[in-house]
């Protein structure tokens, strides 16, 4: 599951209770989280300028310090604490620990700086945490063999984790009820979207901004073992169990 920074603060206690119940019923959720708004807030407090290039934060060494502090620090621990408060068992880890998320510079690194693409995920670490009875909560910071850190878009990191784990499904929890499109003057949630429709909607501008890395990550993981990616709003009651029960909610992205 990917939990977006857009929705983290607004997630109700019932979201974490639902998660705990899923864990207790034998389902093994794995969380990769974002935290874009909290990073921007902290950069602003420190007087460090921030800018996005095609949805990716331009990441200097100074920005990287704040990204790691916020993602692997406060945000990661906030999620762990909320799961524990609901009675669940969670263990927070960043992509740097155990070289969990291995990365290399993105193709346009001259423009965006220390932003990474995922080259490998040490999925045995995730399996080990699950094996100990804990829910892994992963911050999307990557590392390479030389010890360099990378800022990785959380959707990209979640897609790579889902692919390497070979999970059946990735749920993307965000602040909108799914992929929306204006149909006959009203904005509607599309219940199912194919890879071809996604390409058309990016070209037409119906999918823009923060939705672009989500759909790109979805397309890349459903070309592997992942069967479907579901985009949902985290503030809807019992959203995770409703998706798992097969309710028509949010947007399902299928091959």
Ligand X SMILES: Nc1ncnc2c1ncn2[C@@H]1O[C@H](COP(=O)(O)OP(=O)(O)O)[C@@H](O)[C@H]1O
Ligand Y SMILES: CC(=O)N[C@@H](CCC(=O)OP(=O)(O)O)C(=O)O
Which residues bind to ligand X, rule: CB under 6 A? 4-7, 34, 36, 174-176, 179-180, 206-211
Q: Determine if residue 42 is labeled as part of a ligand binding site.
A: no
Question: Which CB sits closer to ligand X, 129 or 151?
Answer: 151
Report residue 43: phi and psi, to 5°.
-65, -40
Determine which residue in the list 1, 5, 30, 134 makes contact with ligand Y, applying CB under 6 A.
Answer: 5
Q: Alpha carbon 187 to chain centroid distance?
A: 25
Q: Tell me whether residue 128 is annotated as binding.
A: no
The secondary element (H helix, E strand) that includes residue 145 is: none
Q: What does the DSSP 8-state code read for residue 247?
A: -
- Distance, CA of 117 to CA of 107 (rounded, Å): 8
Tell which phi-psi region holds residue 248, choosing left (phi > 0), alpha (psi between -120 and 50) or beta. Answer: beta
- The minimum distance between CB 53 and ligand X, in angstroms, equals 14
Nearer to ligand X, 46 or 208 (CB): 208
Beta-bridge mates of residue 114:
none
- Stretch 174-213: interaction string toward ligand Y, x if CB under 6 A: ------------------------------------x---
Pairing of strands 2-3, 101-105: unpaired
Minimum Å gap between C-beta 190 and ligand X is: 8
Contacting residue, 19, 64, 67, 80, with ligand Y by CB under 6 A: 67
Cα gap 192→249, rounded to integer Å: 10
> Of all residues in this chain, which one has the CB nearest to ligand Y in the complex?
34
User: Residue of minimal CB distance from ligand X?
Assistant: 4
Q: Are strands 228-233 and 251-254 parallel, antiparallel or unpaired?
A: antiparallel
36 assigned binding-site residue: yes
Q: Looking at 31-39, 85-93, 186-194, 226-234, which segment touches ligand Y (CB under 6 A)?
A: 31-39
* 253 touching ligand Y, by CB under 6 A: no
Q: Is 80 helix (H, G, I), strand (E, B) or coil?
A: helix
The answer to whether the CB of 215 falls within 8 A of the CB of 47 is no
185 is in an annotated binding site: no
Q: Give the residues lining the site for ligand Y (CB under 6 A).
A: 4-6, 34-36, 39, 56-57, 67, 115, 140, 151, 153-154, 210
């Amino acid at each position: 599951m990917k939990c977006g920074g857009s929705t983290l603060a607004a997630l109700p206690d019932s979201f974490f209770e639902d998660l705990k119940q899923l864990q207790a019923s034998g389902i093994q959720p794995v969380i990769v989280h974002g935290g874009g708004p909290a990073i921007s807030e902290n950069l602003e407090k420190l007087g460090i300028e921030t800018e996005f290039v095609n949805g990716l934060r331009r990441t200097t060494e100074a920005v990287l310090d704040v990204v790691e502090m916020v993602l692997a620090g406060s945000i990661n621990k906030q999620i762990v604490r909320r799961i524990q408060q609901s009675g669940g068992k969670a263990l927070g880890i960043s992509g740097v620990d155990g070289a969990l998320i291995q990365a290399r510079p993105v193709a346009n690194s001259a423009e965006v700086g220390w932003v990474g693409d995922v080259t490998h995920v040490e999925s045995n670490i995730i399996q080990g945490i699950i094996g100990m009875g804990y829910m892994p909560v992963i911050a999307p910071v990557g590392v390479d063999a030389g010890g360099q850190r990378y800022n990785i878009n959380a959707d990209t990191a979640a897609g790579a984790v889902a692919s390497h784990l070979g999970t059946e499904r990735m749920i993307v929890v965000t602040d909108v009820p799914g992929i929306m499109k204006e149909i006959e003057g009203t904005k509607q949630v599309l219940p199912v979207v194919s890879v071809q429709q996604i390409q058309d909607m990016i070209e037409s501008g119906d999918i823009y901004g923060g939705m672009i890395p989500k759909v790109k990550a979805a397309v890349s993981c459903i070309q592997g073992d992942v069967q479907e990616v579901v985009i949902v709003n985290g503030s809807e009651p019992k959203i995770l169990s409703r998706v798992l029960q097969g309710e028509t909610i949010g947007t399902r992205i299928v091959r």
